Structure 1
Amino acid sequence: MTDRADAEGRLRARLAEVEERLAAQRRAVDGIVESARDSNADDEHDPEGATLAWERQQAAALAAEAERERDQLLAALDRVAAGTYGVCEVCGRPIPAARLEARPAATRCVEHAR
């Protein structure tokens, strides 16, 4: 199992990065919506390339991905507080440090990863 303070510090640093990315994606969505508000362009049939709707959906999908990661990191912080961080939820063995480095919110060891 990893050192609790070290794990918490790494998780909080990653959480700050994810929350910054989430805020940026939300601003992007808001900007796209705002720029299209006063436009009467037919962006769905624009032969020039990507539509505003596609750009908005892309930014919204990236925001949703960041929200999922944020939720996973918050759950990992709860596991740190409970003393179960770094323990496989299936077999109860320690999750290798390299896996936690790559996937800080991992709940399963490599053997039991889905």
Structure 2
Amino acid sequence: MGPSAGWGVRLAEERLLAQQRLRDLTRDLDSVVSASRDTNADDEHDPEGATIAFERSQIAALTRQATQHLEEVDAALARVRAATYGLCETCGRAIAQDRLEARPTARTCIACARVTRGQGG
């Protein structure tokens, strides 16, 4: 079993957690939408309306973040399968284990990430 096999297990667990988070957020959004349908709240004129709109917006933003994270996990799992996990996509060097521990979906080493950030990316 190669060194990335352990990461494959960890990423698979991370994927399950991300999927559960998406399910929970979808349920929360459905609840807010349903609650707003069951009332005659007018978002523009009802003092509670702004709260409902804010909740919907906040849950939608969290859903987008969770979806993006799931996509990053799936991309990392694809790198595990391709035996390129842990290699920087920019320079080809190994990504430090500490970085992978902190961010298992990392695509680049710290040095390349700094350069990219410095260029607005």
**Taking structure 1 as the reference length, what is the TM-score of the superposition?**
0.91
Query: Which range moves more in the overlay, 2-11 or 28-37?
Result: 2-11
Q: Distance in 1 between matches of 2:41 and 2:26?
A: 23
Q: State the 4+ residue runs in structure 1 displaced beyond 4 angstroms.
A: none
Of structures 1 and 2, the one with the larger relative CO (CA 8 A, separation 6+) is 1
Deviations 1:47-74 (A, max 9, x none): 4685201101100110110000000000
Query: Does residue 1:57 correspond to 2:52, yes or no?
Result: no
Query: Alpha carbons of 1:78 and 1:95: their partners in 2 closer, same or farther (altered >3 Å)?
Result: same
SS in 2 for 1:43: coil
Q: CA 1:52/1:35 → structure 2, altered by over 3 Å: closer, same or farther? A: same
Q: Which residue in 2 is equivalent to 1:19? A: 19
Distance 2:46 2:101 in 1: 44
Cα separation, 1, equivalents of 2:28 and 2:90: 39
* Residue-by-residue CA offset, 1:3-47 (whole Å, 9 max, x unaligned): 121010110111111111111111111100001112111233444
Q: Is the contact between residue 41 and residue 48 of structure 2 (CA under 8 Å) also seen in structure 1?
A: no
Structure 1 residues 66-87: Cα deviation after superposition (integer angstroms, max 9, x where no partner) = 0000000001000000010000
Any conservation in 2 of the 1:22–1:63 contact (CA below 8 Å)?
yes
Unmatched runs of 5 consecutive residues or more in structure 1: none
The 1-side partners of 2:39 and 2:84 are apart by 53
Does the 8 A contact of 2:99 with 2:106 survive in 1?
yes
Q: TM-score, normalised by structure 2?
A: 0.86
Q: CA RMSD in A?
A: 1.6
Q: How does 1:4-83 map onto structure 2 within 5 Å?
A: 4-47=4-47, 50-83=50-83
